[in-house]
Structure 1
Amino acid sequence: MGPHYLSKLFNPASIAVFGASDRPDSVGANALQNLLKGGYQGQLYPINPKHRKVQKQDCYPTLCALPEVPELAIIATPAATIPAIIQACGQRGVANAIILSAGFEDENGKRIQQQMTASAHAYGMRLLGPNSLGILRPKIGLNATFSKNQARPGHLALISQSGALCTAVLDWAEANDVGFSLVVSSGDAADLDFGEILDFLATDNQTHSILLYIEGIADARRFMSGLKTAARMKPVILLKSGRLPAGSRAALSHSGALIGSDDVFNSAIERAGAIRAFTIFQLFAAAKTLSNGIHLKSNRLAIVTNGGGPGVMATDRAAELGIELPQPTPQTLEKLNATLPKHWSHGNPVDVLGDASSERYLSAVEACQNDPQFDAILVLLTPQAMTHPLTVAQALADFVQNTPHCKPIFTAWLGESLVAKARAYFSAHKIPTFHTPEAAVEAFAFLSAYHQNQQLLMQVPATGEQPCIQADIAGARTLIQSAIGEQRAFLSSTETRAVLHAFGIPITPSIEASNAQQAMVAAESLGFPVSIKINSPNLTHKSDVGGVRLNLNSVQEVRQAFTQMVGHVQQIQPEAKILGVTVEPMYHAPFARELLVGVARDPVFGPAITFGSGGTEVEVLQDRSIALPPLNDFIARRMIARTKVAKMLGNFRGRPAVNEDAIVEVLLRISDMVAQLPEITELDINPLFADEHGVMAVDARIRVQMPDIRALPYQHMAIHPYPAELRKQVQTKTGLAITIRPIRPEDAKMEMDFIANLSERSRYLRFMNHLQTLTPQMLSRFTQIDYDREMAFIATTEDANQQTIEIAVTRYTTNPDGVSCEMAIVVRDDYQHQGVAALLLQSLISHAKSKGLRRMEGEVLSENVEMLSLARSFGFKLTPLEDDPQITAISLPLIPSHPG
């Protein structure tokens, strides 16, 4: 793994500053002044044809006049001049540029932006901005901004779409002695945006935690890819203002009304393994807490306090954040009763009373440490007359240091001057400390959310992996496309039921009737009691217009209900097209709960699935949880558990527990449906009745739209599912039975064993160094991949003990140009020369072609004759590198399967 392609942007050895000047308060003058003031040690080249000297530095008239090609161009000239500057930079070989200039907001500015971006791409240049504040890399003295702020070195990285927010954060950080590894203002992000910058930060060894400020997202797939990559390596905390644009579409379904863009954004952040803050203070508090490397198993908190008030404040905030405060076990109560005064609180919070000594505090903390009910302990102190804040802090720090497997401990010493030394002592001993009980509880909540979201990050759901159902995808798609061909936005009731049946979702039958006679025949055929519902493509919520009649027990009731209902709807909705009614049997389930399962299409993140309470009051109850597809069993059960109705799914007021597996099954099938059918933009199943026997959908509605015919499979989703369809079983030329499949996160142990079983020579030939084992970061990168922009196929077989082992792996990663990829392959020594490598490489090439890639590249040590021979047999062109003949470049042109 060589240097990241953005390394020279953020660690440049030389910089040209276009628009450098002595004019006070100009962008170019401030940018150059900051570079000089920050102590940047690289070469600086001010460029301005009007001056020989700028800020006492030699100034050059043009780029061509420079003695070398700079690694970075900083541009602070009027917008109209920038395309020519980019053209000159591209011709000279400048690889990166930061555009500080504004002026791209109107139509003319947008044309200029498109022109400069196209020119940059033609030369392989990368652009940051325009309208960017710039970047800071304090460790190398690089302050390439026009801000008045400086920054000290540290291990926090900040990426912000807002330059103003950057200056506010920098000002706050300077006053609070917070340092940064990198600060990036993305500006208008004409080229580089969050995704690629996050990808760089994921492997940047100076960065331990990442802070993001987001206003909007242009490319959800690229954003999610970079965010997931970074969050696998280090904590990522986001602060987002406003809401994502909801678009002009009205919410025509229950799901559309329930799901807001901010809800979907939260779901995306959780799936990516990051967490969200809501203030700048929370942003840094979360980063400070997460950087301590504290691990949690759950979110059960014990509170130890010497004052009832602070304990109540902490309890209230915990309740608001969903933090559990379990009561001590009887054994713990016995220990506390033996060591605490008679009037202690006898519960959680553990109030040790105002005159508590350090010994009393420690006895309470130790009891909570040994109680399996608690995952962490919050210790609160108010500086009362008989309290010694520093002494208690010292005793607590000693306890943490000398207690094996000590639970995470958070502290909040309330006050200022009397507790300042204690807070400093905690900070010096890396014990999280806060000024208020609420802030400490919020920090614990962040930590809990982070570890829960990291579990979500590890989930890599596939589609179509449910053995009990084989979906009729082709049949469902034909039905939908027929409706689209008739220019209908909604499927009919019978079409909707057919699509749900195609994916194995149980739903009551329905018969369409255009007149009362047909309705009576349908009712008699289905058996009484029945319901009738108005059938109109213009009426989404039938109940709202009186378009539903329930529990009809005879043909006479059906005839009367048909006449009255159709007449009533025509009167109050004269412009609606009334096709008649649908007749459905009444579903009898005395112990059933009414649920809702739905899908709505977010304009940025694509389809989002919702689950919650069903019925006619869903918008009022607002009881729902949301997740992005694809789902698996873990994610589906988490969705259910996060709703209020989940508490009613167990034994409840004489009703037996619901068959939760059946609900999970429906969620998984809906996930498959929206993954396989991008034509579906909205879906409602409401109500979905669930009882001890299973589930039954009673009413459903599907909205459809023609998808982009140029899109690749799953392109409409923010998260690419695990491509289980690529799994295949083959035999090598020697008859060895192997399975070739994409790698998964749970393959980490097998991947470690595979690397350990390679000979030293094989490891050297693969990694071009004497690697002995994979670091945790490398293991994460190798097994938790983004199937949208990379692929890794492993070959497995059974050993003599019938254990599945990995015997080979091949992978490619798409290059920044988006049309080429870099590949690698390695086979375990004792399975070489059996044709394994050829089978793997064929799979890799086929997949790269299916993704529309045009070229596959790689670098091979010239002594690796076996790999060079394999490459030659597949048609790769072999070219020894001029500057390093020990390495041979290999390149294979690919024919894209999807033109354009």
Structure 2
Amino acid sequence: MSKHYLNPLFTPSSVAVFGASDRLDSVGQIVFQNMLGSGFQGALYPINPKYPEVQGKRAYASIAEINQPVELVVIATPPQTVLGIIESCGIHGVKAAIIITAGFGEAGHGGAELERELLEIARRYGIRLVGPNCLGMMRPAIGLNATFNRGGANSGNIAFVSQSGALCTAILDWAQSNDVGFSSIVSMGSSIDVDFGEVLDYLVSDVSTHSILMYIEGIRHARSFVSALRAAALAKPVILVKVGRHAAAAKAALSHTASLVGADDVFDAAVSRVGAVRVQTITQLFTAAKALSCGFCPVGSRLAIVTNGGGPGVMATDRAVDLGLPMAALSDATIAYLDQHLPPNWSHANPVDIIGDAQAERYQHAVKACLEDSSVDGVLAILTPQAMSKPLESAQALIELSGNYCKPLLACWMGETQVAAARKAFAKTRIPNFRTPEPAVEVFSHLSTYYRNQRLLRQMPGSVSHHVEPDVESARLIIEGAMQEHRKVLTEMESKALLSAFHIPVAKTMIARSPNEALLIAQQLEFPVAMKVNSHDITHKSDVGGVLLNLNDAHEVLAAYQQIQDTVRRSHPDAHLDGVSIEPMIVKPNGRELMIGVTSDPIFGPVITFGLGGTTVEIMGIRSVALPPLNKFLVRELIDETRISKMLGSFRQMLPVNMEALEDVLLRVSEMVCEFSFLKEMDINPLILDECGALVADARVIVEYRQPSFDRYAHMAIYPYPTQLIRHWQLADGTNIIIRPIRPEDAELDQIFVRELSEESKYFRFMTIMHELSETMLISLTQIDYSREMALIAVTQKQEKEIALGVARYAINPDGTSCKFALVVGDNVTGKGLGQKLMISLMEAAREQGLKTIEGEVLNNNHNMLKLMNRLGFSTETSEDQRTVKVTKRL
């Protein structure tokens, strides 16, 4: 495996410190003192032209004077000197720089220009920059302390990445007294070059990092951040704090959706989608990290509480309800067991109050019963020190139990002196313990969120979710027609036509440009009807008196036409009015008014919202948010997140709605968002939903021109299913083949394919003896992130069932420019050209991704594969042990 391109930053063999000094309390003095004091294991060079020696080490006037390779430089000199330093470092082969110096983009126009030039020079020489305006970074295990923090850090397995240097210093000070160790500490500063995504990318494969903690103020590159966060969360817990939750966001006035959704909503949706956990405080950051490292198997959110005091049990319950955690309903069997082992006056419900005189035996029975109850997902045990309590013995009873269960078990031993020994006992085990109930419940909430988000993480849906293809060309013509007229807002007719092209049911609408036309159309549609102003210049028609409903006869229609025209002209005299739109009044006794919206986040791109519809949508603000693309699982999560989901079942004598119709509309909207980067905002409001189906009563679409990109999904933070890679082909015998990217739904197909391979073919592919794929392997092979790996599966149809014939895949190497491939074809199609076709298709996909080299390892007795590699122009190199051959090709 190739080295990660950030290795010079994280594991440098040599470091030079520009601005190293003896001047007490200067940044350069502290940085160099830290490097000396931390016992850095590589070569260390102070650079300061003013002195022959710095802190007892020979000083150098420039990097040229060192005359030895330098991998990493740390710069603590005035901002006007930094550009020249980076230029000289580039000439002498330096690959990474930590710029502690401030005074760049954050310092106004002049600093921003300096920053632009700095980045230009760094990119010219291929130097990667951390900072500027940062604290620096640490790797305690190798003695790297390139920071101006007073003191070092313990070595451990937590990586901490922060945009705030000040916060880093506070956490480092806290960590020393709380016995917390770190594998890496990275202060990002302005992060003009190396960003969160790239640091996460490195930490994914860093064996010394077991969990990743992050403090975020903002991100620059959504696609790389989301992709790297997903990859990291697949491998290890990622917990983060993001500040600015309540910052006033710029809100567009063009659509309801844009005024409802803030940047923080979107960030939450992104974090949830990729399997990470967001917390609100620094304390929660570390307590959640400890809990997630305990080896629990979180399976849900139903909490059981065992307590010897009613008050603390109620406190814990209140906090659980605040956080949306359901209190577990104990099974009859659990109640019966507890009746046998608890006093008659126990609570007979959750919280399980085992009475104030409870000792270890009661705790053991109550906690054991709850852990074994299938309706319980986790247990919080609370003890208040009373006269009869035995805090240490009760703690030891829980410790003994904990080894037999993987459900989360948390302890809250309240008080101080009497429970000190019990707390020490808990600290030596995997049971997280707390002083008060509320933080304990919050940590269980984080565990529950982790489980939920890990389920979302496994969802990688396609851009197209339906068998009936949308009329994309007609939809494109509607959008392009508006843009050619220099319009951003589509008319209601255009908006509904766009939705119809994606098979979303809309209410029939017609345009009338005179009172008589309005009457004829109303009679044709049948009374009652609704009339709305038709104007490119009016966005919110209701706000200007441009909507009249329940018009029941000819007189009302004629009067309504004139009333709408007069009212709108008074409020918007400059607006161009193009008659009125008329549609039947939608009368659905069981109908619920909902809203589906799209808005465009400046960082994460398109966002889909779902919630309560109608004219009070912005006041009520009941909605949930998701990043596209969506599939059925994600759509159900989006619906269930809102409070109105309870209104969609049987409600006040109304029949339950057709959920499948609602899901279908949301999936179609997701399709539309993936297909059109021009789609900036959209309101479907109201969407009338009842037991019969869904119908769009009104819609508004806002478009915006975007510069065409070679990446059709450049507008999206999450890369959808790449339909452009689907290929149709034929074997020489006429068998029709489809070569397409693999999907999560292909898990069974892939399992059967591998199972039916000959033992030799399995060995050639996996280089080990195996019978079939494990569940973990199957997940990793079919639930892939298309922006960092690719798997193409060749399938054919037999008796209306897909059969897999071969799979080719690549994964991008840590260097970011090359990839490693694997290929296997079924024994029944060997020698028919399928392997070559798959490899050519795979190389085309890698080339499209901007990769430069593709490589692989082939067993030296796999003669057919070696012949194929030769035909495709791969170079070969036999390994030292003569067992494998490395094959490589420039793309």
| TM-score, scaled to structure 2 | 0.93
Q: Secondary structure at the match of 2:739?
A: strand
**Paired residue type of 2:210:** H
Q: 1:132 to 1:752 in 2, by over 3 A?
A: farther
In 2, Cα distance between the equivalents of 1:883 and 1:120? 37
Report deviation, 1:491: 0.6
Q: 1:814 to 1:479 in 2, by over 3 A?
A: farther
What corresponds to 2:219 in structure 1?
217
What corresponds to 1:381 in structure 2?
383
Q: 1:745 to 1:433 in 2, by over 3 A?
A: farther
Pick which of 781-790 and 426-435 moved more.
Answer: 781-790
Report deviation, 1:551: 1.0
Q: Secondary structure at the match of 1:311?
A: helix
Report deviation, 1:869: 4.9
**Paired residue type of 2:109:** E
Query: 1:145 and 2:147 equivalent?
Result: yes
What corresponds to 1:36 in structure 2?
36
In 2, Cα distance between the equivalents of 1:375 and 1:286? 17
**Paired residue type of 2:440:** A
1:845 to 843, 846, 854: 843
What corresponds to 1:571 in structure 2?
570
Q: Secondary structure at the match of 2:424?
A: helix
Residues 607 and 717, structure 1, Cα contact 8 Å, conserved in 2: yes
Query: 1:507 and 2:501 equivalent?
Result: no
Pick which of 752-761 and 865-874 moved more.
Answer: 752-761
What corresponds to 2:533 in structure 1?
534
Report deviation, 1:837: 2.4
Query: 1:46 and 2:46 equivalent?
Result: yes
Q: 1:828 to 1:848 in 2, by over 3 A?
A: closer
Q: 1:54 to 1:406 in 2, by over 3 A?
A: closer
Query: 1:370 and 2:372 equivalent?
Result: yes
Residues 789 and 814, structure 1, Cα contact 8 Å, conserved in 2: no
In 1, Cα distance between the equivalents of 2:370 and 2:881? 62
Q: 1:555 to 1:129 in 2, by over 3 A?
A: same
Query: 1:304 and 2:306 equivalent?
Result: yes
Q: Secondary structure at the match of 2:426?
A: helix
What corresponds to 1:896 in structure 2?
none
Report deviation, 1:549: 1.2
Report deviation, 1:2: 3.2
What corresponds to 2:890 in structure 1?
892
The residue correspondences of 1:663-678 to structure 2 (distance < 5 A) are 663-678=662-677
Report deviation, 1:414: 0.8
Residues 302 and 377, structure 1, Cα contact 8 Å, conserved in 2: yes
1:60-111 CA distance string (max 9 Å, x none): 2222222420221112222222222222222222222211111113333323
Query: 1:317 and 2:315 equivalent?
Result: no
The residue correspondences of 1:422-437 to structure 2 (distance < 5 A) are 422-437=422-437
Query: 1:293 and 2:308 equivalent?
Result: no
Pick which of 6-15 and 831-840 moved more.
Answer: 831-840
Query: 1:356 and 2:349 equivalent?
Result: no
1:403-431 CA distance string (max 9 Å, x none): 4x453211111112211211121121211
Report deviation, 1:343: 2.5
Q: 1:278 to 1:868 in 2, by over 3 A?
A: same
Q: 1:420 to 1:806 in 2, by over 3 A?
A: farther
**Paired residue type of 1:484:** M
Report deviation, 1:794: 3.4
The residue correspondences of 1:232-243 to structure 2 (distance < 5 A) are 232-243=234-245
Report deviation, 1:753: 8.4
Pick which of 746-755 and 563-572 moved more.
Answer: 746-755
Residues 434 and 440, structure 1, Cα contact 8 Å, conserved in 2: yes
In 1, Cα distance between the equivalents of 2:98 and 2:770? 36
**Paired residue type of 1:841:** M
In 1, Cα distance between the equivalents of 2:571 and 2:868? 75
**Paired residue type of 1:434:** F
Residues 843 and 854, structure 2, Cα contact 8 Å, conserved in 1: no
Residues 138 and 186, structure 2, Cα contact 8 Å, conserved in 1: yes
Q: Secondary structure at the match of 1:663?
A: helix
In 1, Cα distance between the equivalents of 2:863 and 2:657? 63
In 1, Cα distance between the equivalents of 2:406 and 2:296? 11
In 1, Cα distance between the equivalents of 2:777 and 2:63? 40
2:265 to 263, 279, 296: 263
What corresponds to 1:174 in structure 2?
176
Report deviation, 1:599: 0.7
Report deviation, 1:188: 1.2
Residues 465 and 671, structure 2, Cα contact 8 Å, conserved in 1: no
Pick which of 153-162 and 356-365 moved more.
Answer: 356-365
In 2, Cα distance between the equivalents of 1:680 and 1:755? 42
In 1, Cα distance between the equivalents of 2:774 and 2:118? 41
**Paired residue type of 2:86:** I
Query: 1:414 and 2:411 equivalent?
Result: no
Query: 1:873 and 2:863 equivalent?
Result: no
1:817-838 CA distance string (max 9 Å, x none): 6xx5434233359465442321
Q: 1:79 to 1:882 in 2, by over 3 A?
A: farther
Q: 1:50 to 1:888 in 2, by over 3 A?
A: farther
Pick which of 239-248 and 445-454 moved more.
Answer: 239-248
Q: 1:448 to 1:717 in 2, by over 3 A?
A: same
Residues 754 and 828, structure 1, Cα contact 8 Å, conserved in 2: no
Report deviation, 1:45: 1.2
**Paired residue type of 2:550:** N
**Paired residue type of 1:352:** I
In 2, Cα distance between the equivalents of 1:54 and 1:884? 48
What corresponds to 1:590 in structure 2?
589
Report deviation, 1:385: 1.3
In 2, Cα distance between the equivalents of 1:882 and 1:666? 55
In 2, Cα distance between the equivalents of 1:26 and 1:748? 59
What corresponds to 1:455 in structure 2?
455
Report deviation, 1:654: 1.4
The residue correspondences of 1:639-658 to structure 2 (distance < 5 A) are 639-658=638-657
Number of aligned positions between the proteins? 885
1:110-146 CA distance string (max 9 Å, x none): 2332223222222322221111211111111211111
1:732-763 CA distance string (max 9 Å, x none): 45777655322344666877888899999989
What corresponds to 2:21 in structure 1?
21
Report deviation, 1:572: 3.2
Pick which of 113-122 and 45-54 moved more.
Answer: 113-122
Residues 249 and 263, structure 2, Cα contact 8 Å, conserved in 1: no
In 2, Cα distance between the equivalents of 1:601 and 1:72? 39
Give the fraction of aligned pairs with identical amino acids, expressed as a percent. 47
Residues 246 and 602, structure 1, Cα contact 8 Å, conserved in 2: no
Query: 1:825 and 2:825 equivalent?
Result: no
In 1, Cα distance between the equivalents of 2:570 and 2:158? 64
Report deviation, 1:609: 0.6
Q: 1:245 to 1:717 in 2, by over 3 A?
A: farther
Residues 607 and 626, structure 2, Cα contact 8 Å, conserved in 1: yes
1:631-686 CA distance string (max 9 Å, x none): 10001111111111111111112111100000000000000011111111111111
In 2, Cα distance between the equivalents of 1:773 and 1:67? 55
Q: Secondary structure at the match of 1:292?
A: coil
The residue correspondences of 1:54-65 to structure 2 (distance < 5 A) are 54-65=54-65
Report deviation, 1:536: 2.6
What corresponds to 1:601 in structure 2?
600
What corresponds to 2:133 in structure 1?
131
Pick which of 880-889 and 43-52 moved more.
Answer: 880-889
Residues 599 and 607, structure 2, Cα contact 8 Å, conserved in 1: yes
Q: 1:691 to 1:862 in 2, by over 3 A?
A: closer
The residue correspondences of 1:674-685 to structure 2 (distance < 5 A) are 674-685=673-684
Q: 1:732 to 1:148 in 2, by over 3 A?
A: farther
Residues 2 and 814, structure 2, Cα contact 8 Å, conserved in 1: no
Q: Secondary structure at the match of 1:147?
A: coil
Q: Secondary structure at the match of 1:588?
A: coil
Structure 2: gaps (5+ residues): none
Residues 459 and 783, structure 2, Cα contact 8 Å, conserved in 1: no
Q: 1:867 to 1:76 in 2, by over 3 A?
A: farther
What corresponds to 1:898 in structure 2?
none
Pick which of 416-425 and 197-206 moved more.
Answer: 416-425
Query: 1:71 and 2:71 equivalent?
Result: yes
Query: 1:118 and 2:123 equivalent?
Result: no
**Paired residue type of 1:253:** S
Q: 1:733 to 1:86 in 2, by over 3 A?
A: farther
Q: 1:771 to 1:209 in 2, by over 3 A?
A: farther
Report deviation, 1:369: 2.7
